[in-house]
Structure 1
Amino acid sequence: MSQNSKIVVLVISCLQGGGAERVVLTLGQGFYELGYEVHIVRFKPLVEYELNPNLNYHLLKYKPYKLILGETRRNKIFAGVLDSYIAKNIGQPDIILSNLERADSVLSHSKLDNVIYVIHNTLSLSNQFEQVKNSDKLKSKLIDIYTKHPCVCVSHGVKEDFIANIGKVSSITAIHNPIDRDYIQRMAEAFVPEYQNYIIHVGSFKRAKRHDVLLNAYAQTDQSMPLLLLGQGKYKKEMEQLAVELNIQDKIVFLGFQDNPFPFIKHAQFKVLTSDWEGFALVIAESLALGTPVISTDCPSGPNELLPEDNLMPMNDINAIADKLKQAMSDPQQFAAPFNEALLPVGIAEKYIEFAEGSVVLSN
């Protein structure tokens, strides 16, 4: 088989504005540059990213199958539909990469060869094992899914957590997410934000991102730099109220989801992240690609694999985070850090190919 005839399929629920969704598009470009025919299969119509014209896109709607009672039965039937669709409309893929829980659950029933799960999150934290009453049942379900195919974890921290909680149930490795530096730098030139001399945080308003910790810490500074918050999510209104309670509402700018956040990141004095957990912390690597300094909590997986120790802060420690914010506000460049060129898309795609060739696991 010639190099140009090789096929990779990336499966994900949708292409909404999340990190995993952006990774799928970026990794697809890496495979394309290596001569692969790249197909993205999604289960929902939702798209919030500019679609790369070098890739092929497919929509196979999952929603009608929700009428089928029983999640396992539903996913098994849908997996058969997915297998038939791929065989008929794409061909025999050399690699199939499953991304996020919905796709993973479906592809655990797939009869196709060469399926690999991409584990984007720290499973114990994203599934809240310590808080969930039936955590043993949940773990059993995840073990049942992830014993079916090899796994790629997006950071060493995610891999360590996976093995500790799920077990070394299959061939497993850690491969960092790809960063398309050229694209990011080009997109960053699209416009100049109206704001100046500001701090930026990019991330959905969800529990893991701990906007509450960030706002409380920021309130302890002199607020000499405004804080821009890019993102949307269910805790946004709650955070707007918190800003009022802390009397910092005039210094906080809620900008919602931005389909191109890169000009905001490029022109920021520095980027801050206060998460309780990350998978890879994509926005850190993207910020470094733009030369923007970053400070971050030293949360499980991601940040400490991308940043020097001095750029890290203890999680959920408002005083320590406030102190680091003050340091960064006085001299942002002390927290500048180099971009790792090993994260460029072609190099990351090559690592996936090497892992896939070494795994040689045929489904079911």
Structure 2
Amino acid sequence: MTKPIILLILKALEGRGAERMVTTLARAYADMNYCVHVLCLEDTQKMPLDQRVNYHVVPYNEPLLPQHSEQATAYKSVAKRIDDYVLGNIGKPNLILVNIYKLNWIMAYSQLPNIINVLHTALSKQFADKLIAEPVPTLTHLKMVYGAYPCSCVSEGARQDLLALIGNINRTKTIYNPCDVKTIKQAVAQPPNINQFGLSANGYIIHVASFDIMKGHQDLLQAYAKTDRKLPLVLVGSGKLEEQIKQLAKQLGIDDCVKFLGFQANPYPLIVAAALLVLTSKFEGFGYVIVEAQALNVPVISTDCPFGPRELLPKQSLVAVGDIEGLAKLISAALISPERYKAPFDKQLLPDNIADQYLKFSEKL
């Protein structure tokens, strides 16, 4: 008997939340004896795939075009290329999960069956500038993209944001991101060792995020500068704003207390040994690193940003976005009483539970 086929589509296996969700779900479906495939537009593989998962690259090969209509024409050709590749090399999938806006747009023109769009962020935040500058065409476009197929959202806040923006034009469901506690705990024993970075257990504060404006590094550094800085601040991640944040650390006179460790394929040895994990995002779809810290029993605090953290943490662990003084006080309080800022891991987020939710959602397609 032929195994049912699961296909997960995204831009590339980079080191962000969507990619973590895809690699975790792919492993879960392999455990469930499905034939699992991951298809990307680019052959960038920072996130490892389970050896049982089939990896495919259908090169994008299209320039970004200035005119929306021209881009749509280009994306239609990409969708046709993906369709032909999937049917010719993979077969007819029983479930297709399409991640990230660019792929959501491309696959809106697909003729493949059983597609679900997965939204990892809040559309109103992602398209804030365009919604102000060109509200009517932007809304029309988003209704086309997210009206094409049912949508799952990684937090209830993100789902409500979607409904408020484009209306109830298709089936939607909140399905949180999976967290593979077993694999994370195994990864804790793997390299890197914190000693190589000159760190000691419970001797630092950690922030794990790409250097992007939405991740709030500026607010974090300004707040940290207002604390007693008895523990260094460790920043894990890479991105376009990294040099700018390094300059800010120098301007604030805290560069001797801030460590930039770059992207780490395995951040868990660094997370588990931290005295405190801080998330300072301006908006999130979910907030993956929060549940990973919970899985490792690490104290965690966060900005009360739209939309994920408030669904994962108690109110005492949250501070308003942009409240530098409040963030500084919360960091200090969490270091004084770390046990108060440990929140239990929700077992409903285990990968087999999340994988099953997607299957049940797809049964009604």
**Is residue 321 of structure 2 the alignment partner of residue 320 of structure 1?**
no
**Alpha-carbon distance in structure 2 between the residues aligned to 1:288 and 1:132:** 37
**Is residue 246 of structure 2 the alignment partner of residue 246 of structure 1?**
no
**Alpha-carbon distance in structure 1 between the residues aligned to 2:144 and 2:62:** 25
Query: Map of 1:26-175 to 2, 5 A cutoff?
Result: 26-64=24-62, 70-129=70-129, 132-175=132-175
The worse-fitting range, judged by mean Cα deviation, of 129-138 and 237-246 is: 129-138
**Is residue 20 of structure 2 the alignment partner of residue 22 of structure 1?**
yes
Contact 1:293–1:335 (CA under 8 A) maintained in structure 2: yes
Shift of 1:66: 6.1
**Alpha-carbon distance in structure 2 between the residues aligned to 1:68 and 1:289:** 44
Query: Map of 1:202-281 to 2, 5 A cutoff?
Result: 202-281=208-287
Q: Secondary structure at the match of 1:323?
A: helix
**Alpha-carbon distance in structure 2 between the residues aligned to 1:305 and 1:351:** 18
Q: What is the letter of the counterpart of residue 363 of structure 2?
A: E
Partner of 1:306: 312
Q: Secondary structure at the match of 1:8?
A: strand
**Alpha-carbon distance in structure 1 between the residues aligned to 2:85 and 2:163:** 33
Q: Secondary structure at the match of 1:63?
A: coil
**Alpha-carbon distance in structure 2 between the residues aligned to 1:168 and 1:129:** 23
Shift of 1:64: 4.9
The worse-fitting range, judged by mean Cα deviation, of 218-227 and 130-139 is: 130-139
Cα root mean square deviation, aligned: 1.6
Partner of 2:296: 290
CA 1:276–1:86: 2 relative to 1, 3 Å = same
**Alpha-carbon distance in structure 1 between the residues aligned to 2:345 and 2:130:** 35
Query: What percent of counterpart residues are identical?
Result: 38
Shift of 1:334: 1.7
Shift of 1:136: 2.8
**Alpha-carbon distance in structure 1 between the residues aligned to 2:229 and 2:280:** 17
Pick 1 or 2: higher relative contact order, CA cutoff 8 A, min separation 6: 1
Shift of 1:332: 1.8
**Is residue 194 of structure 2 the alignment partner of residue 193 of structure 1?**
yes
Contact 1:209–1:275 (CA under 8 A) maintained in structure 2: yes
Contact 2:23–2:48 (CA under 8 A) maintained in structure 1: no
Contact 1:68–1:74 (CA under 8 A) maintained in structure 2: no
Contact 2:299–2:338 (CA under 8 A) maintained in structure 1: yes
CA 1:68–1:274: 2 relative to 1, 3 Å = closer
CA displacement 1:67-120 (0-9 Å, x = unmatched): 998111111111111111111111111111100012111110001111110001
TM superposition score normalised by structure 1: 0.95
Contact 2:130–2:138 (CA under 8 A) maintained in structure 1: no
**Alpha-carbon distance in structure 2 between the residues aligned to 1:130 and 1:270:** 37
**Alpha-carbon distance in structure 1 between the residues aligned to 2:210 and 2:62:** 28
TM superposition score normalised by structure 2: 0.95
Q: Secondary structure at the match of 2:118?
A: strand
CA 1:67–1:207: 2 relative to 1, 3 Å = closer
Q: Secondary structure at the match of 2:194?
A: coil
The worse-fitting range, judged by mean Cα deviation, of 190-199 and 246-255 is: 190-199
CA 1:65–1:8: 2 relative to 1, 3 Å = farther
CA 1:88–1:299: 2 relative to 1, 3 Å = same
Gaps of 5+ in 2: none
Contact 1:118–1:154 (CA under 8 A) maintained in structure 2: yes
Contact 2:131–2:138 (CA under 8 A) maintained in structure 1: no
**Alpha-carbon distance in structure 2 between the residues aligned to 1:338 and 1:199:** 20
Partner of 1:330: 336
Contact 2:65–2:71 (CA under 8 A) maintained in structure 1: no
Q: Secondary structure at the match of 1:295?
A: strand
CA 1:207–1:7: 2 relative to 1, 3 Å = same
Gaps of 5+ in 1: none
Shift of 1:135: 3.2
**Is residue 13 of structure 2 the alignment partner of residue 11 of structure 1?**
no
Q: Secondary structure at the match of 2:331?
A: helix
Count of residues in Structure 1 that have an aligned counterpart in Structure 2: 357
Q: Secondary structure at the match of 1:109?
A: coil
Q: Secondary structure at the match of 2:248?
A: helix
